[in-house]
Structure 1
Amino acid sequence: MHPVSPSLAGPDRSGQPSEHPFTGLFPLPRGQRFAWVRLHGRELLVLDHPRCQAVFSRQGGQLLHFQPRGERPMLWCAPRWPQVGAIRGGVPVCWPWFGRHPTQNGWPAHGWARLEEWKLLRNEADEQGLYVSWELELCDWRVRLDAELGDTLQLRLQTSHEDSEPCLLSQALHAYWRIGDIAGASLGGLQGRKGLELPTRQDFSQQGELRIGDGCDLLFQPGGPLRMYDGIWQRRLRLDTGGSPETLVWHPGSRPLRDVSWSEALGFLCVEAAGGIHESLCLKPGEVASLGLKASLE
């Protein structure tokens, strides 16, 4: 493992290719598919394949970067990371609760998973792509993240527990999708779907494409694949939450985020696979709760 100092160039809104926080990690030596490096105090697994490039953090088992070969990155990641704490960007695993803990105010938002060191179970490659699996055991809980990366991005999160009593769970694959500018982005495939505005707890039915004004925090019932149109970069992402119980759409709007400037926040939109956000899931002994997320360029 060796330290690196990648370029931290910001987003380019001119429509031209722009660098990302992991530019300096690539390419790996010829023929090498995996390498461990250390960056900003975190241990990172770098993946380099003819079909794609990607970066995982051992902290959180978190996919931070995914870029199909010859394309712009699909995921956004903040260029500045706190010395300790969660990394904003990529696909954080919010688990075993989403948002604030319902009873313990001092416990971290979005659970322990983003802060813990995960165990690498598998890292393999073939002609089609890369296969990585991570696992975290916490008390009686066990969660596993499986990733298949090639021309497309596929994630599967599975949770079980060994407690003799039912346990409550809420979770999300909190994906930050990279875009040219939020003002030129829209989300299709939600027409007629029932939704909930989380800040106000107001129900609604989506009419037409979703466009983001000054932020949003919306929870939708499951349905078919979504299509994110990026008007600045003239591309479409097909997003499929894989039968997950809920879909979340979030952007902070003008609300400030720690260590993220207003202009940087214009470069992402979060569309997430989620479960137990409206009402916590009750996971019985022996049951498995799953989330799935798949993304591809159209």
Structure 2
Amino acid sequence: MNFTDYKSVSVITYKNTPCIQIKNANAEALLSLFGGHLLSFTPTSVNENILWLSEEAIFDEKTAIRGGVPICWPWFANLRSGDDIPAHGFVRSQAWQLIAIEEKSDAAEITETTLTLQPETLSLYNTSAHLTVRLVVTISKDCKISLISSNTGNTPISITQALHSYFNVKDITTAQIDGVTSNYYDKVVDTHGNTPSLPYKFESETDRIHVAEVDTSTNSQTVTIRSHNNFDINIGQSGHDSIIVWNPYIDKSKSMKDMADNGYETMLCIEAGNTEGTIVDAHSSVEISQWFSAKTR
């Protein structure tokens, strides 16, 4: 692909990893070709990266990167207990390739940049030779990420997946989220049917799967993170059956080699996920999307 044809896109190396840098009138972003992994999104309106990237993230083109927006596909968490296979699928630790770029402009300025990527190969862990995936990332005043799974075969395929987004917060002990009120499965203590306390705040390790409250094929859900002094982070998502909320808190942060001991203090995961199993019918596609922006107060 000839990048000189595009004003807002360039190829750079970040921490020895090939990346796509996007700069337009509304935002800047950095996307790693290892994992198809969005590392940063900085809207011009606040001039601050609203995604969180671990200071201890490992950039060796083998290990999944801690932070940004990892792609969990074609399974979420562990596919089968006891199997020697990667948690959260395999595409977040594979090389991706850029297959299309689209720019939209207003007068002389590029205001929106859309990238389409796909894995260079699909791992032997893939659940079917007929299952493929594409990632579409649009950078403008907000950032939209869509994961499109396609089944080229003659029989339905079941997958789970997630857009595992890490967001920046000023202080997890004072942060709160609005818009997540449904009951949840608590992975920390392995209990179902828990009701969240409102306002939704964080005082310990949090790993929860909230069932979506609407039909997300025709409706979207909105979550707001309130933490920063001059703006909130608004998150919308569709095509999901669950909202996953995660913060490792003190002890787990200390046990993770790719997170600083105090890393939990400034991050919060709000994930769009299909955790219950999504059927991709024969010769059809399904799409899960998340979009986010900084809303000034």
* TM-score band w.r.t. shorter chain: 0.7 to 0.9
1:238 and 2:234 matched? yes
| 2:84 is equivalent to residue 106 of structure 1 | yes
Given candidates 226, 245, 250, the residue that maps to 2:223 is 226
Separation (CA, whole Å) in 1 of partners of 2:205 and 2:90: 26
Deviates more, 1:182-191 or 1:132-141: 132-141
1:90 aligns with 2:86: no
Q: 1: distance between equivalents of 2:74 and 2:82?
A: 13
Contact 1:100 1:108 in 2 (8 A): yes
TM-score calculated relative to the size of structure 1: 0.83
Distance 1:104 1:158 in 2: 29
* More moved, 59-68 vs 104-113: 104-113
The answer to which of 42-51 and 129-138 deviates more is: 129-138
CA pair 89-143 structure 1, distance change in 2 beyond 3 A:
same
Choose the corresponding residue for 1:250, options 235, 246, 263. Answer: 246
Q: Distance in 2 between matches of 1:51 and 1:262?
A: 34
Per the TM alignment, residue 289 of structure 1 is displaced from its structure 2 partner at its CA by: 2.4
Asked if residue 162 in structure 1 is aligned to residue 137 in structure 2, the reply is no
- C-alpha deviation, 1:159, in angstroms: 0.5
The SS at the match of 2:173 is helix
Tell me the residue number matched to 2:142.
Answer: 152
1:59 alignment partner, SS class: coil
Write the deviation string for residues 134-163 of structure 1: whole angstroms up to 9, x where unpaired: 123523321111111111111111112234
Deviation, structure 1 residue 70:
4.3
Is contact 2:10–2:21 with CA below 8 Å preserved after alignment? yes
Count residues with an aligned counterpart.
265
Q: What TM-score, normalized to structure 2? A: 0.83
Q: Is 1:45 matched with 2:23? A: no
**2:37 matched to 1:62?**
yes
User: Which secondary structure does the structure 2 equivalent of 1:259 belong to?
Assistant: coil
How many Å separate the matches in 1 of 2:81 and 2:282? Answer: 22
Shift of residue 32, structure 1, vs aligned partner: 4.2
Tell me which residue corresponds to 2:271: 272
Q: Select 2:53's aligned residue among 77, 92, 95.
A: 77
Aligned partner of 1:194 in structure 2 is 183
Deviations 1:196-246 (A, max 9, x none): 21231321233422111112111112243111100x534211111124221
CA gap 1:261/1:228 in 2 versus in 1, 3 angstroms: same
Whether the 8 Å contact between 2:56 and 2:257 is mirrored in structure 1 is no
SS of 1:147's partner is strand
**Structure 1 pair 143–98 and aligned structure 2 pair: CA distance change class (3 A):** same
Q: Counterparts of 1:184 and 1:234 in 2: how far apart (Å)?
A: 15
What is the 5 A alignment of 1:4-19? none
Indicate conservation of the 8 Å contact 1:169/1:280, yes or no: yes
Give distance in 2, aligned partners of 1:220 and 1:287: 27
Q: State whether residues 152 and 284 of structure 2, in contact with CA within 8 Å, keep that contact through their aligned partners in structure 1.
A: no
Q: Distance in 2 between matches of 1:156 and 1:66?
A: 15
**Contact 1:54–1:64 (Cα < 8 Å) also in 2:** yes
Distance 2:54 2:242 in 1: 26
Instruction: Please report how far the alpha carbon of residue 103 of structure 1 lies from its aligned counterpart in structure 2 after TM superposition.
Output: 5.1
Which whole-Å CA distance do the structure 2 matches of 1:165 and 1:286 have between them? Answer: 8
Aligned partner (choices 132, 146, 150) of residue 115 of structure 2: 132
Q: Counterpart of 1:141?
A: 131
- Can you give the 5+ residue segments of structure 1 that lack an aligned partner in the other structure? 1-30
Question: 2:55 touches 2:260 (CA, 8 Å); kept in 1?
Answer: no
Q: Percent identity?
A: 22
* C-alpha distance in structure 2 between counterparts of 1:87 and 1:189, whole Å: 28
Q: 2:195 corresponds to which letter in structure 1?
A: S
Equivalent positions of 1:10-29 (< 5 A) are none
CA contact (8 A) 2:149 2:280 kept: no
Given the alignment, which residue of 211, 217, 223 partners 2:201?
211
